[in-house]
Amino acid sequence: MTDLTDLTLADARARLRAREISATELTEAHLSAIAAHNPRLNAYITLTADLARAQASAADAALAAGNAGPLTGIPLGIKDLFCTKGVRTTAGSRILADFVPPYESTVTANLLRDGAVFLGKTNLDEFAMGSSNMTSAFGPVENPWLRRGSNAALVPGGSSGGSVAAVAARLAMGATATDTGGSIRQPAAFCGLAGIKPTYGRCSRFGIIAFASSLDQAGPVARTVQDCAILLRSMAGFDPKDSTSADQTVPDFEAALGRGVRGLRIGVPTEYRVPGTNPEITAIWEKGLAWLLAEGADIIDVSLPHTKYGLATYYIIAPAEASSNLARYDGVRFGLRDAEPNDDLIGLYEHTRARGFGSEVQRRILIGTYVLSAGYYDAYYLKAQKLRALIARDFTNAFAQVDALLTPTAPTAAFAMGEKMDDPIAMYLNDVFTVPASIAGVPAMSIPAALNQDGLPLGLQVIGNSFDEETVFAVAAALERAAGFAARPGQ
Amino acid sequence: MPYTIEGATGPWEVVIGLEVHAQIISEAKLFSGAATAFGAEPNTQVSFIDAGFPGMLPVPNRECIAQAVRTGLGLNAEINLVSRFDRKNYFYADLPSGYQITQFAYPIVGRGAVTIELADGTTREIGITRLHVEQDAGKSLHDQDPALSYIDLNRAGVALMEIVSEPDMRCPEEAGAYLTKLRAILRYLGTCDGNMDEGSLRADVNVSVRKPGENFRTRCEIKNVNSIRFAMQAIEYEAKRQVRVWEAGDEVRQETRLYEPARGITRSMRGKEDAHDYRYFPDPDLLPLELDAAWVEQLRESLPELPDARRARFIAQYGIPAYDAAVLVADKSVADFYEAVAAGHDGRLAANYITGDLFAALNRTGRGIETTPVSITALRELLALLKNATINGRIAKDVFEQMVETGEMPSAIVDRLGLRQITDTAAIDAAVASVLAANPDKLAEYRAGKEKLFAFFVGQVMKAMQGRGNPALVNEALQKAL
């Protein structure tokens, strides 16, 4: 019998329903794998083994009674940015190291409603700020993939580094993640997974610890496109507790997987052909286009003329919102209070925040405070807002001509721990292909396409029009079939 | 004669603008479902949203928005169908999220106007610049412990309206009249209870002085004034202070000041250089607030009658003088009381009793109309007793005083004290006869042509009858006898 942790989520779902396997043995298999591999990978910050066993047992009862939900008995990892009632939620930060929310996020509540089993809370860059998972106060996450012939530890990407490492290493069947400028897609690409950032507003943000409210969006990572479709259907949905949540019905994303791409117009944004791009990245992009062409799609060059402003726009808007969103961590009501005995209120703030936040979070709070300051607001924040509108219009114009766009997900494969660490700009460049879709709020998905010459996965990104995740899934599924990506880490 | 301050260099004009914070009447807070009752135990009306917990999101409370629109309509102001919430960022222990959600760039209500009445009977129009909706902060308690500060978040997140006037007022009286009128409008609308002592209505007063004909000079803002009287006192003090500063050759600094009622002075709180950089930006947790024009029209059609309209109606319907009507409508409860008493009775008489005897009694006993010892039913009965001639006007005054003292119904007082009017002509004739017999000299003078003495005889007869004689019958009997 195959190892239970190797099953896809869809397979596991079928076997659970057929009573071939039990939720309890599936959960135990994952708990064993976590015990064996998490000490090295550090993918989980908090394990909820007892809770998982209880949920699995309830799932088995539901399966026996014939009233299984869409995810009954499926063991998942939950990014530690989603508040989970009664379970410590840290955001990867020292300032929330002991924070236990008295409420459940809407997305995790939806997953629980559908019968999922939560194995634990996965590691992440502090407050989701990072592209390497190196900024977590709970230590870096190791990518389960290694360069061929090397033992150098690689980063899993970020910020959802724990989620992708866990799923790639078979420590969960799927995981929740969040994406503000690429935090689902880039780590999915680095770890050979599928991951979708849906349209802004598709998933409720209620109970997700905010980084940049106008950009943050939850989505799943999993080993197949189908598994992502299954998870997203459960996670998504209108939520009156989030004013920015969209009152749109959630389609059956799985049903779109077999549509194929015949007759679809696939756009190639010319501005994404940046001189100096890694030839391996260019090559896999060309291959992706060739696969779609072979499947009957039309390939069309399109222009997204404001692409070159994407990163600058993002690194103004996201820190601006973050500087305000993170003001609540002040040591007064919850979380860390690290004050000196004779501190006044200002001293309490300064010591708590200086000791509670890591250097990347502090850097972004400073940038955000600066761009919103009197005298700089117009030059930075206001200009960035205008560019945001132009970038969004680029996509609107493009989707008047094409049904989806195909681009690389990240400019490189996973890099080693320690690389790019002393150069924040080099680190920010990781997001160059992912940020524009975040700014525009449109759905985008990364799927594993091939291994590079070092044996590391490379991802391709499919970008769709607002609330047209179905086309994204259809294109991603076609690419997945064509790529036949079967590699797994540690082989 | 315009109000001026006489300085050594001549007269100075005072320029006043007001920013009024009015707590919206609503069951729940602006962005959370938490309750808003005044005086609850500390930190018992706080949701995780109000406390700024991680992952919590604001959702606008539609009733609070409706209240703001009603207020805008009541101020004859433009309603902006699209407005926006912004964040005002600053750190303080009673500001849980580290920012206040307010409306900075695009308020829900634009320009409007309020007509104020002055003591000399003239009216003036005061411009409204804007009205916006925002959250209140919590409360810091520094006097509970020698070393610690306590925080009460019951008020955090409660919906406020900030109503900003144009700098249209020129004297303390106008500022007082504006606040009085604004409070009346809010109470008529039912959008704010207007209780300044509970903090549901507070004013920031902007004051500057200038030589007549000049442009505006630097202003100072006096924060959080919590009574109309204090606002007027603060303006007077502050204007004189500024005149002294200018005339000493100094400059008035733009600053925030506090009024100290006990000493009757304003003192500096912080200067412009210490002003916060609030880093306003659109709140990304909230979409632009879009109102449906038809919904606004529904609110407009369901507005209650407002003070100006009611005053006009009182004059027309009850035939009372404009001044009395203005006094009656100034307080909605008084106006309601008046209408309940006046229905089916002489409106003028009812107005006289309420603005005269009742107000005097309330003043004397330190009560308001809500706790009046003279009920609507009692006052109506008194008017009925007058109308059917059970008592006369003179006796009615005494009965009224008894009503204030004992809270008894007038009929019971009349019966207990035997004050029923005497209409028995034989008894009146007898009283007349005895008065004439007792005053032969006055009678002779009268008959010699000193007709003014008629009043004297009336008085004597009424006195002999302990005031209970029917005045018309007494007159008639006297005329016959004389």
DSSP characters for B297-341? HHHHHTPPPPHHHHHHHHHHHH---HHHHHHHHTSHHHHHHHHHH
What is the Cα–Cα distance from B162 to A102, expressed in whole angstroms? 34
Are residues B279 and A103, on separate chains, in Cβ contact within 8 Å?
A: no
What is the Cα–Cα distance from A324 to B275, expressed in whole angstroms? 19
What is the Cα–Cα distance from B437 to A129, expressed in whole angstroms? 110
Q: Note the pLDDT tens digit of each residue in B325-380.
A: 999 999 999 999 999 999 989 999 999 999 999 999 999 988 889 899 999 999 99
Residues 2-41 of A with CB under 8 A from B: none
Instruction: Give which of A108, A127, A239, A372 to mutate to test B binding, by max B Cβ within 10 Å.
Output: A372
Is B105's Cβ below 8 Å from some Cβ in A? no
Q: Report helix, strand or coil for A357.
A: coil
Task: Among B56, B91, B284, select the one facing A330 at the smallest CB separation.
Answer: B91
Q: Cβ(A297)–Cβ(A262) under 8 Å?
A: yes
CATH 1.10.10.410 maps onto chain B at 425-481
* Domain made up of A4-259+446-483: CATH architecture: Alpha-Beta Complex (3.90)
Which residues in chain A touch residue B51, judged by CB atoms under 8 angstroms apart?
Answer: 333-334
- In our burial notation (b when 16+ CB lie closer than 10 A, e otherwise), range A205-240 reads bbbbbbbbbbbbbbbbbbbbbbbbbbbbbbbbbebe
Average of pLDDT values for B177-193? Answer: 96
In this structure, the number of other CB atoms found within 10 A of the CB of residue B93 comes to: 18
Q: Note the pLDDT tens digit of each residue in A372-382.
A: 999 999 999 99
Residue B388: pLDDT band with limits 50, 70, 90: confident
Which residues in chain B touch residue A244, judged by CB atoms under 8 angstroms apart?
Answer: 284-287
Average of pLDDT values for A3-8? Answer: 96
Q: Report helix, strand or coil for B75.
A: coil
Average of pLDDT values for A274-285? Answer: 90
- The pLDDT score that the predictor gives to residue B1 is 63
Tell me, what DSSP letter sits at residue B148?
-
Average of pLDDT values for A102-106? Answer: 98
- The pLDDT score that the predictor gives to residue A2 is 57
Tell me, what DSSP letter sits at residue A382?
I
> Which residues, 6+ apart, have CB-to-CB distance to B385 below 8 Å?
B391, B396, B399, B410, B411, B414
What residue segments make up the domains of chain A, in order of their start?
4-259+446-483
Residue A1: pLDDT band with limits 50, 70, 90: very low
Rounded to the nearest 5°, which phi and psi values hold at B208?
-145, 165
Residue A491: pLDDT band with limits 50, 70, 90: low
Candidate CATH numbers 1.10.510.10, 1.10.3720.10, 1.10.10.410, 3.30.70.360; the one for domain B425-481: 1.10.10.410
Q: Reply yes or no on whether the pLDDT at B39 is more than 90.
A: no
- The pLDDT score that the predictor gives to residue A429 is 81
Is A240's Cβ below 8 Å from some Cβ in B? yes
- The pLDDT score that the predictor gives to residue B277 is 94
Q: Report helix, strand or coil for B290.
A: strand
Which residues in chain B touch residue A213, judged by CB atoms under 8 angstroms apart?
Answer: 284-285
- The pLDDT score that the predictor gives to residue B89 is 97
- Token readout for B185 is 């409008």
Is A386's Cβ below 8 Å from some Cβ in B? no
Q: Reply yes or no on whether the pLDDT at B430 is more than 90.
A: no
What is the Cα–Cα distance from A116 to A110, expressed in whole angstroms? 9
pTM of the model: 0.91
Average of pLDDT values for A94-118? Answer: 98
Q: Reply yes or no on whether the pLDDT at B49 is more than 50.
A: yes
- State chain B's mean pLDDT as an integer: 93
Query: What does each C-alpha distance from B28 to A34, A109, A110, B84 come to in angstroms?
Result: 46, 25, 27, 20
B471 versus B384: the higher-pLDDT residue is B384
Size of interface A-B (CB pairs under 8 A): 100
- Token readout for A282 is 């260019």
Task: Among B48, B58, B279, select the one facing A103 at the smallest CB separation.
Answer: B48
Give percent of chain A above pLDDT 70.
99
Q: Report helix, strand or coil for A343.
A: coil
Closest chain A C-alpha to B141 CA, distance in angstroms? 13
B52 versus B368: the higher-pLDDT residue is B52
- The pLDDT score that the predictor gives to residue B449 is 84
Query: What does each C-alpha distance from B267 to A299, B217, B222, B246 come to in angstroms?
Result: 73, 19, 9, 17
Q: Cβ(B100)–Cβ(B88) under 8 Å?
A: yes
Average of pLDDT values for B184-206? Answer: 95
- Picking from B75, B176, B169, the residue whose alpha carbon sits closest to that of residue B119 is B176
Q: Cβ(A404)–Cβ(A267) under 8 Å?
A: yes
Which residues in chain B touch residue A330, judged by CB atoms under 8 angstroms apart?
Answer: 91, 93, 98
Query: What does each C-alpha distance from B253 to A100, B213, B274, B280 come to in angstroms?
Result: 49, 21, 12, 24
Residue B74: pLDDT band with limits 50, 70, 90: very high
Is A324's Cβ below 8 Å from some Cβ in B? yes
Q: Reply yes or no on whether the pLDDT at B172 is more than 50.
A: yes
Closest chain A C-alpha to B293 CA, distance in angstroms? 21
Residue A183 a catalytic site member: yes
- Picking from A173, A234, A171, the residue whose alpha carbon sits closest to that of residue A198 is A234
Residue A214 a catalytic site member: no
Residue type, B52: G
Q: Reply yes or no on whether the pLDDT at B190 is more than 60.
A: yes
